[in-house]
Amino acid sequence: MRPSNAGNLSLTRPLTAEQAWRVTSERAARCLLFFDFDGTLAPVMDDPTAVQPAPHVLTAIDALAGVVQRIAIVSARPVEFLREQFSSVPHVDLYGLYGLEHSHDAGPTVTEPMALPWVRPMAELADRARAELPPGTLVEYKRLSVALHYRTAPETSAVIEAWGAAQAERLGLRVQAGRMVVELKPPVDRDKGMVIGEAVKSAGCAWYFGDDVSDIKAFTALRAREQADPEFFGVCVAVANPETGQEVSSAADITIESPEALGDFLTSAVRALT
C-alpha cells in the first residue's frame, strides 16, 4: 500500500472516506474541491441539454464553499452552460472546455487566446457533421469543440469514430474519447490535468471527483503534486458507471456508486467538516 503523508497522521492507501475527511478538516482553509460535471455531479441522460445536478449536490456544494478554500467545476462543457447550472452557487470557479475557458466568482468568461482562431472552423465542422454523419448522431457544437454523440445509436460508433479521426487529420484537431462520444478539439495544450496542476500549486489539500477518462489526467496531477510536496494531501474520487467506470475507479482512492450517491456523500462531508 502506498504510504500517504497527511501531516500528523500516517495514512496508507486505500483510504476510507472518514479518514480522508478527517485529514481534510484539519486543513480545510487550504483545501480545494474540484468536480467534473457530467456523470459525476449530474446523472447521464440521452439528451445533453436536459441534464441537471443530482439531488442535494447544489445544497452540499453551497455549504462546502463556506468551509473549504475554493470549489471549482472542471468540465468539457462550455462555461456558459456551467454558469446556468451553478447559478445558485455563484462563488464556485468554472473551468469549461477542458480549461480553454474559465470564470471566477461569477466574473466574465475568459477564453484561452490560442483557441480563438478555431471558433469558425469548429462551426463549419459542426455543420459538416450534421450533413455527413448517420441519422441518430447527436452533434453538439460547443464554440471551440464539437462532440459527436452516439448514445442513442451505438451501432454508429465505428462510423462516427472513423469520421472524427479523418476530420482531425484534415484540420489538425485533437480527438478526445468519452462516454458514448467522440470530441474534436483545437490543437491547443489544455486539459483537466493542466488545470488542476496549476490550481493546486499553493494548496495544502485537494479532492478531485470524476467519472470519465479525461478525469484521470486530473488524478495524475494530484498525484504529482503529492509526490512533489509530502505535506500536500490529495484525494481522487471516481463515480462508477458501466462505460469508463472500471478504468477511472482503478486510478482513484475512493469510488462512489453514482451521482445521486455523490449528493449524499457530499452532504455527509458537510457534517464531517463543520
Ligand X SMILES: O=P(O)(O)OC[C@H]1O[C@H](O[C@H]2O[C@H](CO)[C@@H](O)[C@H](O)[C@H]2O)[C@H](O)[C@@H](O)[C@@H]1O
Site residues (vs ligand X, CB under 6 A)? 36-39, 44-46, 48, 51, 75-77, 140, 147, 149, 151, 178-181, 183, 212
HSE on the CB side for 244, CA within 13 Å? 21
Nearer to ligand X by Cβ, of 56 and 151: the residue is 151
Smallest gap, in angstroms, from Cβ of residue 212 to ligand X?
A: 5
CB of 41 to ligand X, least distance (A): 8
The grid coordinates listed for 105 are: 466568482
Sequence letter at residue 21: W
Identify whether the C-beta of residue 212 lies closer than 8 Å to the C-beta of residue 192: no
| 199 phi/psi in degrees, rounded to 5 | -70, -25
The least distance separating ligand X from the CB of residue 97, rounded to whole angstroms, comes to 9
C-alpha cell at 197: 496542476
Closest contact distance (angstroms) between CB of 206 and ligand X is: 17
* Residue 140 or 226 with smaller CB distance to ligand X: 140
Q: Is residue 111 within 8 Å of residue 80, measured between CB atoms?
A: no
Q: Which residues contact 32 (CB under 8 A, 6 or more apart)?
A: 68, 69, 70, 71, 72, 199, 200, 203, 205, 206, 207
Q: Give the nearer residue to ligand X in terms of CB position, either 77 or 143.
A: 77
Q: How far is the CB of 211 from ligand X (least distance, A)?
A: 7
Q: Can you tell me the distance from the alpha carbon of 28 to that of 236, in angstroms, rounded to the nearest whole number?
A: 16
Considering beta carbons, is residue 44 or 205 the nearer one to ligand X? 44
Quick one: 48 or 204, whose CB is closer to ligand X?
48
